[in-house]
Structures are given as structure tokens and as C-alpha cells.
Structure 1
Amino acid sequence: MDRVILPAAEYERQKKPRFTAISTTELMAIEFPPIRWTVSGYVAEGLSILAGRQKLGKTWLAIDWAIAVACGGVAMGSIYCEQGDVLYIDMENGPRRIQGRIDILFPSERLRPDLSRLRWVSDAPALNKGFLDALEDWRLTVDQPRLVVIDVLQRIKPSGNANQTSYESDYAAFSGLQAWATRNRVAVVALHHTRKGGADDPLEALSGSNGLSACADTTLVLDRDHEGVTLYVRGRDVEEKESALTFAGGVWIVTGEAADVRRSSERGNILAALEEATEPMSPTDLSNVTGMKNGNIRRLLHSMLKAGEVQKSGRGGYLHLKNATANSPGE
């Protein structure tokens, strides 16, 4: 076959990098599979970062997810998980503590579920020294790879590059892990710490640079304040929300949307104060007793009045319904 000799200009043009473009019509004709959820509403396929302060309970939460997936059970008390294989890379606790946690969750060996699809690793190479190769080996040796937990992310993080900013270094370090998780439709949950002092935006609270949260598909922040514990989630495929959680016996339970739970608790505080009062209370009186902000109390009292939970008495005063009934004139 005769060789085709291209003109010099065409040869140079073909040597240059070129975009492989797709039209909108072609793009819209593609049928993509639905998002593969591991813990519905919280953890999807791809790379997720679960961050929180030390000793707050991140490991307990991750173990809850891991067991729910391995058994095809329920996570956080109410979220059914499709069964699959789980790899938990725990480089902080060791086999003795892991065994102790399982014993707390399932004190009776006879009643313990089949956990054979949950495998544990206590040592792993850094991301740039074979970690992804080891992950791929695990993926190819199980039937349904669904979840990988890395506890904690700092243990596999490569050393920084002096020629890069911390943002560039973090993004470059974890982009390969994110690509592996996305390509194979596996949920990878990496545990991480939050910095001291917190931040206005939960994603800004992650320790280190913003390169980590920028690279991750989903970021979850476990936090505690005077109103309780919350789990905040934001991601590319996850609807942003903040849930209220309670912890008992090694298990985290979702009790509802954080805003609703807080409102319910605040309403309870107002009702308790009004019930103990011997006369009508103003919003300022309630603020002094409960420690709640005056503006919040006024808004809640307006809603509670419409809902029939309290009764107005005179100008600016409010009564508990029980007290209002007791003080009403007889027939």
C-alpha cells in the first residue's frame, strides 16, 4: 500500500491536541444508569469525605454503614441498604478494638448476623505507592464491590509537592482515588478530621486545603453543638441537607431533619416554661427563662398560636392551654 504523505500544515494540525466533542443531541440521547446509592440520601458511588472532630463517633457511623451494606440491612436506624461486599481499611484501631466494637453492637454471638462480606484491613500503602492497585485487586476478587471505608484518610496521603500549593497537592493526591471510585461505581468513604474553631460553611471546616472537598463527590460533616449532633451532607449527586442524630449502644440513629428537630425541641422548651408559669408570659419573659433568642421565640409563638398549641392572653402575653383552661370562668 502506498504511503499517504500529508501536507506539512495538515501533519502539524493532526499532531496538536484536539477536543473530542459531542453534540447536545447526542448527549441527550445517552441513557445513563441511575445513581448507585450505598446509603440512600447520604452516600452514593464515587468519593465521599466523612469529616468530624476527634472522638465524635465517625468510626461508629462508618461501621454502621459497612455492616448495613454487608448484611443488606438498615443504616442509621431507618435506611435500607442493598447488600454487597465491603472493605474497611482501619489503620487507627487495630483488630482488638474492631472486635470490641463488633461485640458492643452484637453482644450475642448466636444472634450476630453474617458479616462475611465485610472484610478488614489494618495496613495499607500510600496513594502513590500502590494503594489503587490494591483496591483494584480487591474489587476483582469479590462478587459485588459496593463500599470501601478508609479510616483515616491522612494515613494514605502522599507527602506534599514543594512545587504545588496545598490545594493543588491535595487535589492531585486524591483525584486518582475519586476517578477509581467513579469509574467502578463503588462508594469510597474516607474519614477525615475537621479543623479547630469550625467555619461558617461546613465544607470550609475540613482540615487542610479546600482541594480535598473540591475533589470529593460528596462531603459529610458530623458535628455537635449545644443543640445536639448533626450530619451535614452536600455533593454532586446528593441533595444538600442536615440531619439530627442520636447515639446509643454504638449506633447512630437519624431522628429527622435538623431544623425540624430543633424547632420541636424549642417548642417543647416554650411549652414547659408556659406550663410552669402562674401568669401569662411575654416573648421577653420566655427568652429570659429558656435562653432562646427573642426573635426566634416570637416566630415560634406565632406558629404555635396558629397551630392551637398556645393561647394569647392580653397584650403580648401567652398561656399554656392547660393554664388557659384552668383560668377560664366556669359555666
Structure 2
Amino acid sequence: MNEKEKTTVPVPSVGADGEQSLSYVTKEIVTQEPDYFNFDDGKHGDEYLKQMLRMSEPSYLPTMTMNQIYETVYESRRPIIENLLYPGAYLFVGAPKVGKSFFMAQLAYHVSVGLPLWDYKTHPGTVLYLALEDDYRRIQERLYRMFGVDGTDNLHFATFAKSLATGLFEQLKRFVKEHPETNLIIIDTLQKIREVNNDRYSYANDYEIIGQLKAFADESNLCLLIVHHTRKQQADDSFDRISGTNGLLGAADGAFIMEKVKRSGNKASIEVSGRDQPDQKLLLERDTETLKWELDDVERELWVKLPDPVLEKVKALVSGEQWLWEGTPTELVEALQVDMKPNQLTRYLNVNVGRLREEHWVMYSNTRTHNGRHIKIESFHYESDDA
């Protein structure tokens, strides 16, 4: 595989460009409640009651200050497929009979068994595939041709589901509750679940549909991959060929556009654009025996994560015999020997909690106790010297 271009860019905090519902933001918060929720003295108790009264007013607008945001530790959103697919709502768009369903089956299988997809590392989880344009016989034939008889209980299929207006969300919520390891749900296709009304192709309606699906994906911390069709009209920008209005793409976290080089050929491309991954173009060729898609080449702007000396010091602090460190922000500054004030260091680590976990296998928490801030740093992965 040939990397066409490499550039160094800041590593974005996951979901930084996307709006989040208040309920989802609240669910992500790891730190304890703000200072005014402390009942230990009458002053803070009075402030808490005043705040509760304010929040009960119909005109109340919940906000967070810049300082409150920095003082909060948010759960990082672990990728489904690194540098390719992340939690959120994504469109997967292509013309009919271009090979979308075969690629969806390939994607679902690799995630369900934790098998890398070409050079992309996957994080295994339970996968639900709503194959609403298929039947189980056709699914069986397709899977056997692609993967033989090596099956998995982590990949579930359904050939019928309710629409958005008649109970689809209740079905999905129940499945996720019964299968808490679910990290990917594929809906094939969007047209099968959307309700029919007179303004179904309006911007507002398209935006609302994807917005509802995105809210569910965010709340459940999983990826919802929605298969859809392209329009027949040509366009300079491939993403302008998504059938419907711009409201679909506007509400989604990103999109994949699949096109064949020749209608009767075995070569295709997938253009990828999203909030959490680099824009890229995958050049594919279909295996004529298994009908699986193989990666020929990739054109992308690669995100290069530069080593972070502060995070490296945090990792070293809980390496070797010492796998747990606890103390105050001031004690942490002394332990790491960094030229930062205690509150600057804790805010820096709050922002980078995802990198600590994903890159260094270090868990970091920052909580408030009666005696002040308490930092806990714990290593949860040990590598041999030969690794």
C-alpha cells in the first residue's frame, strides 16, 4: 500500500466538530459534580438549591464555561476501525448493484471477529446488520462464498425491522441492552426505515432523520452505518451525488461514497470524509472467487501523531513495578518534573485522556474530594520486552 501524502497535523479531540445532545454530554462526564453540589457547608448547599431552582425554569439554558469544560474529563470514543470508522452516524452511499452489500458483510464480519480490515486495525464488538433488502437464504449464500463456514455469534442479521415512526429505536435500544458489547449497527437501506410523507425529501426532514439516528448512536456510543443510494445526475463533488437533500450529509458525522471504475469491472473506489478520520480514497479490486473487496492502494492525508513528552512521562510513572499512582495535582507536577502549574497539568491530561488510554494503556481520573483534587493514574496493560 502506498501512502500518497503525509502531513503533520494536531490530533483532534474526538467529536470536537460535532454537536452533542445534553444527555449525551452528561453521560460522558467522568469527574464528580461541580463544587456547588457540595452539601458539606451551608453556603454551597444554598448555591445548589438556587441552581436547581434555576434549572427548573422553562427559560433555563444549560451552559458550561470554558473553564468548566477544561476541568471535565470526557470519555474518549474508541474507534471501530482505526483511521476509518468511529462512533457516530455515517452514510455509506453507492449506486445499485455496485457491491455495497458485499462490502457491508465484509466490514461487519471483520469487526465482529476483531480481524483487521486490510491494514486497518479493528476493535471487536457485537455487530447488528439490518439487511432489509435481503432474505436469509441470500445472506447465507453470500457469507459462505466470502468466508466459508467459519461463523461467529457476534454477528447478528435481521431481514425485517420497524420504521423510524413505528418503533425502530425501541428495537435497537433493546438489542443494545441485550448485547452491551455492540459497537456497530448497519442499516441497509435508509429507504426501508424512513417514514413516507409529503415532504420526505425536504432538507428539514432529511436532517431530522439522520439527526435522530445520530442521537441514538451518540447515546449508545456505537457506529450506525446507514446504506443509501446515489442519484443519477453527475456532480463535480462525489458527495453531492447523495440522493436526497444536503440535510442527510449535514446531520451525519461523515460519509463513504462507493463507485465502480467500470460498471462491468471489478475495480471500485470508496471516498471517505468525516469529522473523526482523515479524508481518503480507497482503491479496491474485487476477488472474483470470494467476491470480497481487496485494497489496492489508498490516497489520504495521513494524521501523524507526534510523541508527547508529558504523556510519555505519565506512562513512565506507572511502568515497571509501580502500576498505580495516586496523589494531588501538586504532587503529580513534582513526580513528573514538568514545567507546568498543577491546574494546567490536570487540564492538559483531561483533554488527552483518550490518547493516554489508546496509545499508552493508561487510565487517568481526576476527582474532587473533601481535601481537594485527587488524581489516579493506573496502567492496565503490560508488554514484554520482546514486544
**TM-score in same-fold range (> 0.5):** yes
In structure 2, the residue matched to 1:180 is 216
1:69 aligns with 2:111: yes
In structure 2, the residue matched to 1:25 is 67
Between the aligned partners of 1:133 and 1:106, the Cα distance in structure 2 is 32
Structure 1 counterpart of 2:155, one-letter code: L
In structure 2, the residue matched to 1:132 is 169
Structure 1 counterpart of 2:286, one-letter code: F
Between the aligned partners of 1:211 and 1:80, the Cα distance in structure 2 is 31
- Over the aligned positions, Cα root-mean-square deviation in angstroms equals 2.4
Alpha carbons 2:185, 2:225 under 8 Å: kept? yes
Between the aligned partners of 1:28 and 1:137, the Cα distance in structure 2 is 35
Aligned to 1:157, the other structure's residue is in SS state: coil
1:242 aligns with 2:278: no
Alpha carbons 2:278, 2:300 under 8 Å: kept? no
Amino-acid identity (%): 25
Q: Offset at 1:136? A: 0.2
Comparing 189-198 with 225-234, which one deviates more in the overlay? 225-234
Q: Offset at 1:161? A: 5.0
1:223–1:15 CA distance, 2 compared to 1 (3 A): same
Structure 2 counterpart of 1:89, one-letter code: L
1:15–1:32 CA distance, 2 compared to 1 (3 A): closer
| TM-score for both structures, normalised by structure 1 | 0.69
Q: Offset at 1:228? A: 4.5
Between the aligned partners of 1:13 and 1:37, the Cα distance in structure 2 is 35
Structure 2 counterpart of 1:173, one-letter code: I
Paired residues for 1:43-192 under 5 Å: 43-75=85-117, 77-107=118-148, 112-162=149-199, 166-192=202-228
Alignment size in residue pairs: 244
Q: Offset at 1:67? A: 0.3
Q: Which has the higher contact order (CA 8 A, sep 6+)?
A: 2
| TM-score for both structures, normalised by structure 2 | 0.59
Paired residues for 1:157-306 under 5 Å: 157-162=194-199, 166-225=202-261, 228-248=267-287, 249-258=290-299
Alpha carbons 2:279, 2:300 under 8 Å: kept? no
Alpha carbons 2:89, 2:226 under 8 Å: kept? yes
Between the aligned partners of 2:218 and 2:63, the Cα distance in structure 1 is 21
Aligned to 2:101, the other structure's residue is in SS state: helix
Q: What's the CA shift string for 1:162-207, capped at 9, x where partnerless?
A: 4x87110111123211100011111111110001133222221101
Between the aligned partners of 2:244 and 2:255, the Cα distance in structure 1 is 14
1:105–1:214 CA distance, 2 compared to 1 (3 A): same
Between the aligned partners of 1:177 and 1:214, the Cα distance in structure 2 is 13
In structure 2, the residue matched to 1:293 is none
**In terms of Rg, which structure is larger?**
1
Q: Offset at 1:64? A: 0.8
Alpha carbons 1:60, 1:250 under 8 Å: kept? yes
Between the aligned partners of 1:222 and 1:42, the Cα distance in structure 2 is 14
Structure 2 counterpart of 1:74, one-letter code: P
Aligned to 2:90, the other structure's residue is in SS state: strand
Q: Any unmatched runs of 5+ in structure 1?
A: 1-10, 261-331
Q: Any unmatched runs of 5+ in structure 2?
A: 1-52, 302-387
1:39 aligns with 2:81: yes
Between the aligned partners of 1:94 and 1:169, the Cα distance in structure 2 is 29
1:117–1:165 CA distance, 2 compared to 1 (3 A): closer
